[in-house]
Each structure stands twice: as C-alpha cells, then as structure tokens.
Structure 1
Amino acid sequence: MEQERKARSRRITAEQVANAAGVSRSAVSRAFTVGAYLDKGKRTEILKVAQELGYRPNALAAGLQGEGRSNLVAIVTGSLANHYDGDVLSLLVRGLNVMGKWPVIVGGSEDMSEAEVLNVLAYPLDALILRGGSVDESVMIHCSKLNVPLIVSGRVMRSEGVDCVCCDNRRGAEIAVSELLKKGRTRLGYIGGSEHLSSDQERKAGFEFAVRRAGLLPEAIVQADYSHEGGYRLLSELIQSGCELDGLFCANDAMALGAIAAARCEFGISVPADLSVIGFDDLAMAAWPEFGLSTMRNDMEKTVSHILRMLGERLSAPEKQGEMVLIEPEFIFRNTH
C-alpha cells in the first residue's frame, strides 16, 4: 500500500510517456511545443498517453528550451502591512498572470537586506520589479551583469537601461499643503512614515518647501510607521505636548485616519472644523462614508499599467533606452479638510 502511494505521488516524466507511447523523448517534447513539427497522428497518440498517465510538462524547462525565457518575474516589495503596497501587489500579480508570467514575491518588510534581494537573482528570471523599499542601488548593477531587466516602481532611479515609474511624491505634498492653505490653515504639521524610504523623504521635502514658500514654518514634523496606530499615537503626543495644529498632512491614508481618530476620540477636536487633515494614496476605505478622507490619489492602476507596458517593451527590445514616468497625484476633496 505504501509503495502504491509513493508511486502515485511521484511526478510522471517525459521519459515515461515516451516509453508508454513507443516514441522518442524528443517527440514528446515536440508534442507539447506549439508550432513544433510532428506528425498529427503521432501528436494525438502522445497527448492521449500523457493524459492517461497524468503527465504535465515542466513549464519552466519548456520555456527555457523554447524562447529562452522562464516566464518568472521577481517582485521585490516592502512591508505588506501597508495597504497600498498590498493592493498594488495584487494588481501586479493579476496583470503578470494575464501576460503568461509567474511572479516570485520577495521581501514583505521595509528593512530587507541586499543579500535577500540578490538571492532571487540565482533563478532564471525574465525580469525583476523593485517596488519601493530602501534596497541599495547595487541591485541594479547585479541585474545589469546578469542581463536581467530591472523595472523600479515607487522610488526614483535614473540609470541607463532601467525603467522607472513613480508617483511625484514631492509634487503631491506641495498640492496637499496648497489645499490646506486655501482653507486658511497656518499651523501645519506633517506625520511621515519611515525616514529611510525615498517616498517619505520626498513627501517631507515637498511639505517643508510648500510651507516655507508660504512664509510659514512647520509646527511639527514627526515620523511614524505608516500604520493607523502610528498616526493615532503621534497626533496624541503632539497635542499632549501643547502643539496646536490647525492643518495636518499625513504621508499615507492609514496614518491620517489614525490621527483623525485620536483627534476626535481622545481630545474632542472637530475634523475639519478645528483641524484639517489630508492623507496620501486614496485607499478604498478613504472613500467610505464614515471616513470621507480628503487625500492625494496615488493612482495604482496607472502605476501597474505602466509597469506591465514597460515589461513587455523591455522583453521585446532589451537594448532600448530606460524610461522614466512620473505620475502626478490628484487631490481628492472629501470631508476632512
């Protein structure tokens, strides 16, 4: 019984199909290769035997032997606790599947090491997509040496042969400050995410620039961890320290919603009558009636569309010049500013 179970669980090989059908191993390979020459009757017989045995060809090996591609695309991503990154990843995986590509997901934390990223380059990748994070740019050098196309998203990376699509984070922050100023807000604060992430550095720089351009000084600049809890805690600490804000820009929607919860629940501050709050990303929950969060839309559908387009074009023309796309975020007016 145990021997029968092991036999059933063992993967059927092309060699076994060839022996059962009375043909060569190469004939089995041609039977499963679109466009390969093989007598129609022989192909039909091989496919019938293969189905009876439960044989499925190795797609990775077939791809490498055919077009020289594995159809594996690595996605290096930051923390999936960030709802926006999780939503982008979901769209990206579906889009790659439609293209006939199979994602290999690496990371899931903001502080992943360069070694963790480089490990995936041991696999025969069609491309590597670097989503945000703080990975050293030496990854780009390794990709170049191995002829692995690199597409960067969520951070600006200008280099020959590297395609990049990114939200214009600095411009988005400037627009957010402008909207707060239009409401007559003058005591402005910023709650950011991780300081080592380029996206947060750009949003903070845009905030500071826009505030100073208006002849003001920032009342507060503090860093959290892109979480609801972080926004709640930091606004609570600011208020308890005597900081009297009337306008707040947060580096993502989760922190903005946390800050609003703290203002209303802990201190009885009315949003937006006493405190205007603007987030960043425009998550689905930002539009829920109980939140109605005013925010900067970081268009994830547009971002993923550009990534998939760049991938297709890069695979068709490996030597083409690198492309840089900056997507300007859109202000979404709701009920919190």
Structure 2
Amino acid sequence: MANKDDDNQTGVRRGQQGRGRRVTASDVANAARVSRSAVSRAFTPGAYLDKDKRALILKTAHQLGYRPNALAASLHGSSTNLVGVVAGSLDNLYDSEFLAQLIAGLNQANKWPLVLAGGDSCIEEAILSILDYPLDALIIRGGSIPSSLIETCAKLNIPLLFSGHVVDAPFTDCVCCRNGAGAALAVDHLVERGRTAFGFLGGPSSRSSTLERLEGTEERLKHHGLELQIRHFCDYSYENGRKAAKEMLAQAKLDALLCANDAMALGALSAIRATLGLKVPDDLSIIGFDDVALAAWPDFNLTTLRNPIDQTVAEILRLLELRLDSPDKPNEVVLVDPVLMRRGTD
C-alpha cells in the first residue's frame, strides 16, 4: 500500500483521475517526471531503459492503477489480435454452443473477439458496424451476407472465415459440415431398421444447410427405392417443430421423421408423445441434426447427427493462423464429417 510520502512524490493519488477516466501513460509520465516514450519503453519487453528509471515508472504506474492499453499499442503493429465474430441468433442452441467454444479458443490463442449476434435481418448492419474496428479477420457463423460486404472486406484487407456456408471470394476460408452425407447416414440407418415412410422437417428453405440435408435425404431414399412422403420448412425452433410435426402427421402416415436441427426434433418429439398418441421409436423414429447438449438429456435421449463443434472450431482457428501468417495463400474449404449418435428415438 502506498504511503503518504509516495503520494506526495508522484503528485497523484490512485483514483484521482476521476471515475470513468482511464489512467494514461501521459499521467504516469507527468507523475514520475519522465517522458512519455520512457513510459512506453518501461512496458515494452526488451526495450532499453535505465534500471532505476524503469523501477520508478513501474512503481508510479502501480500507485496510479495504470495498465497499458493493449489495443492502442497493437495499432502500431501489423496485428491487433481483434477478431470480429458475427454469430447469428443465440436462440439457436447449436450457434450458442458454437460461439462459447469459439470464444474460448480465440482467447486461448490470444485473440480477442468482438461479437455481434442477431438474425439475418441485422447481419448487414452488424457487419458494417464491426468493420469500423481494426480487425485481423472476420468470422461469420451460418447464413449468408451480401456480396457488397464481401467486397468491402476485401478492400479493407480483412480476411473472412465462414462456418456452415461455402463462399467463393478473395481471402476467404470455409469450414462446413457434410450435410448431405449426414442425411444419407440417417436414411441408411433407418432403412436398416425397416422404416419406409419418411418425412423431412427442414429449416428455412433459403438456408444452404437445409437444402443440402434435404437433397442428401432424397438421394439416399432414391438409392433404396423409396420416396420422401412429405417435407415441411419453417424457422429453426422448438415451437415450430411441435406445430410442424402435428401438421405433417395429419397429412401423411410416417414411420420416420428426419429433422434439420435438434430444436425442431425436440419439439416434434414433444408433440408426438404428448398429443398424437404415438410411441417413439416403436411407431415413429425421429433423428435430429447437430447434437446439442440438450439432445442427450434423459428426458429426450434424442438420436441425432453430431455436427462436431470442437473439430469445426479447431479448423477455424487453424485456418485463421494460416491466413494471418500468409495473407495471399489459396482459399481452403474444410468439410467436417457428421457422426450418428444413437440414443433412444431411432
């Protein structure tokens, strides 16, 4: 704890700068009666500075509660370690779990995420606002963005990384799930179990992931000499899954329902158990997609296709480092294999 003489020596007490104003290097320089550049050298590893002067500066900085501004310092270099993340809607269980792991991975790599979340309607506005910051890169989870924004990022030399969506653009890398292969895996498994009447419950028809999962379902059914009985598209949500399942089963007699994400599968499972009088899996098999944490809860025990977040995040971080080390490297598209997680609904 600083004594009174220490305060008199520096001429500034801790907190004297007033609430809401950060103590600056200039404050330390004035209090220690040294130059601003000397303060900078005192906090720069390897920089030359007289030992006694460094000790005085560090002591003064401690008394004032000063910490160097890492962002300001980084602006003088080639990298700020700031990474923009456009996360989509956090109401989506998969996206929220993905974001948590991505942030942890970025922090571990000494990268600091600037995160914006929201639905498709605010993606363009969000990206425009985030481009005002000195970003090393921009990561976009799901959805799509206007080509004009991709061109803006290219002009600003901000590389892009897409998760869940393949984009062909300069300085752009992508990590995506093999959606069609996952759907085919589910079809093969259910056909082996004797299922023949399939329905598909998809997300918005504008989403590439939904269309890829639908295409994979239809192609694999055709391989087995079967046809899809009914398809339904809606927003990814539990409530929409409940409503859609009732509508689909009122129109077609099904013994298998493939859902484009787990939230809809859980909603469908709830409706079927509670109101439709069918037994799962005796009367009807249900398979989801993503394998969010909730799917494994005993009350649900949902069979689903794991879209592995840990592998996806690891690939994003790998591609990010490669791009920052070699900005002109060729673009990469990494495809991640889904895994069938057999539980109690197939």
TM exceeds 0.5? yes
Q: Give the Cα separation in 1 of the matches to 2:153 and 2:217.
A: 34
Alignment check: 8 A CA contact 2:86 2:126 kept: no
List gaps (5 residues or longer) in structure 2: 1-14
Q: Give the Cα separation in 2 of the matches to 1:157 and 1:19.
A: 52
CA deviations on 1:36-83 (whole Å, 9 max, x unpaired) are 222232222111101111112211111112x33222110012111111
Q: Given the two structures, how large is their TM-score scaled by the length of structure 2?
A: 0.91
Q: 2:215 aligns with which of 200, 205, 208?
A: 205
Look up the match of 1:138: 148
Look up the match of 1:289: 298
The letter for the 1-side match of 2:92 is: N
Look up the match of 1:185: 195
Root mean square deviation, CA, Å: 1.7
Alignment check: 8 A CA contact 1:227 1:254 kept: yes
Look up the match of 2:272: 263
Q: Give the Cα separation in 2 of the matches to 1:83 and 1:113.
A: 18
SS at match of 2:254: coil
Deviation at 1:6? 7.2
Q: 1:86 aligns with which of 78, 96, 105?
A: 96
In the alignment of these two chains, the number of paired residues is: 332
Q: Give the Cα separation in 2 of the matches to 1:293 and 1:159.
A: 38
Deviation at 1:235? 0.5
The letter for the 2-side match of 1:331 is: L
Q: Given the two structures, how large is their TM-score scaled by the length of structure 1?
A: 0.94
Look up the match of 2:74: 63
* Residues 163 and 217 (structure 1), Cα distance of their counterparts in 2 relative to 1, 3 Å cut: same
CA deviations on 1:225-272 (whole Å, 9 max, x unpaired) are 2111111110111223x3111111000111111111111110110111
SS at match of 1:128: strand
Look up the match of 1:23: 34
Q: Give the Cα separation in 2 of the matches to 1:10 and 1:77.
A: 31
Is residue 325 of structure 2 the alignment partner of residue 316 of structure 1?
yes
The letter for the 2-side match of 1:314 is: R
List gaps (5 residues or longer) in structure 1: none
Deviation at 1:95? 1.0
Alignment check: 8 A CA contact 2:17 2:23 kept: no
Look up the match of 2:11: none
Q: 1:123 aligns with which of 118, 122, 133?
A: 133
Look up the match of 2:311: 302
Look up the match of 1:14: 25
Q: Give the Cα separation in 1 of the matches to 2:188 and 2:149.
A: 37
Moved more, 228-237 or 284-293: 284-293
Q: Give the Cα separation in 2 of the matches to 1:43 and 1:68.
A: 27
Q: After the TM superposition, which residues 85-124 of structure 1 pair with which residues of structure 2 at under 5 Å, given as runs?
A: 85-124=95-134
Deviation at 1:5? 8.1
Q: Give the Cα separation in 2 of the matches to 1:149 and 1:45.
A: 43
SS at match of 2:244: helix
Alignment check: 8 A CA contact 1:232 1:262 kept: yes
CA deviations on 1:87-106 (whole Å, 9 max, x unpaired) are 00001111111111111112
